[in-house]
Structure 1
Amino acid sequence: MDTTTFETEPTYGLRRVLGQLIPYVLLTISILPIVIGYVWIFVATFSLRTEGLLPKDANGNIGGWTLQNWTFLNDPAVWRATLNSLIIAVGMVVGVGAISSLTGYALSRMNFTGRKGFLSITLILHAFRPEMLLIAIFQVLLFIGGIPVIGSLFGFNTVGGVALVMITLDLPLGVWLMKGFFDNISWDMERAALIDGASRFRVWWEIIIPQIKPGLAALAIFTFITGWNAYLIPFTFTVGSKVANLPVLLNQFSGDTSLVSWNRVAALGLFQLIPIIIFFIFTQEMLLNIYSGGTKGGA
């Protein structure tokens, strides 16, 4: 009996170690191509050539470090496109966050005629691809463009028009996400506030919103990334570099008839990633801090 125990314990320990290592090994193998791709792009932005993971000069020798691929930072069109991307992304964060939180609260807390039908329509709208709606969106933007004052801000070939379309397309996901967060919040504090005479809006703003900040942070991450990386809508409904965003400008850099400098394209692509990384880091930290604080407070 003792011999059997002595032989099986090492085997069990080995299986346990392998069981713990295998997920990490598989995860490392799966993300390795992605990591190599990003390293390749990073090296290419400071290299004279794009081949391999080591910087090379024009003759193929190791050590061809250069900053000439970043000279696009002196181009006013790049900063104009950066501002356009920022307007679209921030506009989406504010617009989708505000409308989704209000709509999600109404769908979660109020009973009104057509509520279930509205929920079903919202879910169906989320299934529509933007490509299917391009002609209809074009007609709507042309109509808005004919309205005095508003047309110059939100019509066709305007950054505001692109932001308006992007907000509309992202609302179904935002509404469902916010409704899910509202459904998980207890009614106790809300009922007490309503009994004390607080209005629905005050309850939503002062009691409910602080409890769903993790949800708002998650929605902000999704909408900011979607708006910052938007390509199809800006490319379709804008003309010229003055209203182009960074993805459209990046396509222009790589789609010119002249010889393409792929190192410059890689540098612009890396430049486009920087704000997303910064926004994600700060938002993720806020998300984790709020979640930890909420968990401790509710314990």
Structure 2
Amino acid sequence: MTAYVVLGIITLPIILMYIWLLLNSFTTQMKYGVIPTNLTLDNWQFIWSDVVINGTEMPSIWTATLNSFLFAGSLTILELIIGVMAGYALSRLNFPGRQGLLKTTMLLHAFPSVALLIAVFYILNFLGLFDSLWGVILVKTALQIPMTAWIIKGFFDDVSWDVEWAGLIDGCTRFKVWYTIVIPLIKPGIAAVAIFAFLAGWSEFLLLYTFILSDENITLAAYLQKLMSNPNVINYGLLSAVSIFYMIPVLLFFIFTQKSLMQVNATGGKGV
């Protein structure tokens, strides 16, 4: 009981902030900063019409939403494909440099992306991928793979070698054993990593803000930044509404995938 009381006290300010955000999105004025007055749906007009701020027309919210889904979805798919194969190799195969790679994997993930911005700019510009969603997707994937491979390795470590040997004795190839026997056994791990990858892509801002300039490639995170670009003319009601709109897909995604998320094993250290 004491634990629930402590957790309730700690989370109460966060809950109140979200309640304030919701109320502010349906009003034009907050009396004393906390009491909503003049209820309206005007703050949600971005859903059915274009938004004009200080004479400047904002990009379509649906373009930003589609780009956000494209970015997060593509990142998830690439991260899973590469991460699952890399995790299996780190768990099962003995190759030169394996121990050194295992020891530096987490270091690569911990390296701050902001320190790489200049190098990434030169690479994307050289490849012709500057101001391209696919260019940022590749960069974000490369930054996420070390952590993904480490987590997936932990799940592969929990699968007994006997399972694979049984498949090989029955005449299956190494690939068939991996695809038809081992992969189904680590579905909870794959699901959990997919959730983390999607959330990382959905919430990404720094790389997109730095390397995406055109409105046709804008995402919801950058859309929110545009709303706050001029601190003298911020429409806080509109900003609150767009913020809630931005959170809705993540909340729905978490509600339907929380069981898989709770099963994640992030140790990745067994069998090193």
Equivalent residues of 2:227, 2:234 under 8 A apart: yes
2:26 to 46, 52, 64: 46
Equivalent residues of 1:88, 1:227 under 8 A apart: yes
**Deviation (angstroms), 1:240:** 2.4
Q: With structure 1 as the length reference, what TM-score do the two structures score? A: 0.81
- 2:257 counterpart of 1:283: yes
Q: Quick one: which amino acid aligns to residue 65 of structure 1?
A: L
- 2:76 counterpart of 1:90: no
Assess, with a 3 A threshold, how the Cα gap between structure 1 residues 287 and 127 changes in structure 2: closer, same or farther. closer
5+ residue gaps, structure 2 = 51-58, 265-272
1:150 corresponds to: none
- 2:144 counterpart of 1:193: no
**Deviation (angstroms), 1:230:** 0.6
2:205 corresponds to: 231
Distance 2:41 2:175 in 1: 54
**Deviation (angstroms), 1:157:** 0.3
How big is the alpha-carbon RMSD for the aligned residues of Structure 1 and Structure 2? 1.7
Equivalent residues of 1:254, 1:262 under 8 A apart: no
1:270 corresponds to: 244
2:117 corresponds to: 134
1:209 corresponds to: 183
When you count strand as a share of all residues, which structure comes out higher? Answer: 2
Distance 1:257 1:31 in 2: 29
Q: Quick one: which amino acid aligns to residue 177 of structure 1?
A: I
- After superposing on structure 2, the runs of 4+ consecutive aligned residues of structure 1 that deviate more than 6 Å are none
- 2:123 counterpart of 1:143: no
What is the CA deviation profile of residues 135-159 of structure 1, one whole-angstrom value per residue up to 9, with x for unaligned ones? 11111111211xxxxxxxxx11011
Distance 2:260 2:152 in 1: 18
2:55 corresponds to: none
| Mapping of residues 1-299 of structure 1, within 5 Å | 21-51=1-31, 52-56=33-37, 64-73=38-47, 74-75=49-50, 77-145=60-128, 155-256=129-230, 259-285=233-259
Aligned positions, number: 254
Q: Which moved more, 1:67-76 or 1:164-173?
A: 67-76
Equivalent residues of 1:241, 1:249 under 8 A apart: no
Equivalent residues of 1:89, 1:224 under 8 A apart: yes
What is the CA deviation profile of residues 20-53 of structure 1, one whole-angstrom value per residue up to 9, with x for unaligned ones? x211111000000000000000101111124544
2:53 corresponds to: none
What is the CA deviation profile of residues 162-182 of structure 1, one whole-angstrom value per residue up to 9, with x for unaligned ones? 111111111111010000111
**Deviation (angstroms), 1:285:** 4.2
Equivalent residues of 1:82, 1:246 under 8 A apart: yes
**Deviation (angstroms), 1:286:** 5.3
**Deviation (angstroms), 1:256:** 3.1
Q: Which has the larger radius of gyration?
A: 1
Distance 2:13 2:130 in 1: 40
5+ residue gaps, structure 1 = 1-20, 57-63, 146-154, 292-299
**What is the percentage of aligned positions where both structures have the same residue?**
43
Identify which of structures 1 and 2 has the higher relative contact order when contacts are C-alpha pairs closer than 8 Å and 6+ apart: 2
Q: What is the DSSP-based 3-state SS (H/G/I as helix, E as strand, rest coil) of the residue aligned with 1:255?
A: coil
Equivalent residues of 2:199, 2:250 under 8 A apart: yes
Distance 1:279 1:209 in 2: 23
Distance 2:114 2:191 in 1: 28
Distance 2:218 2:166 in 1: 50
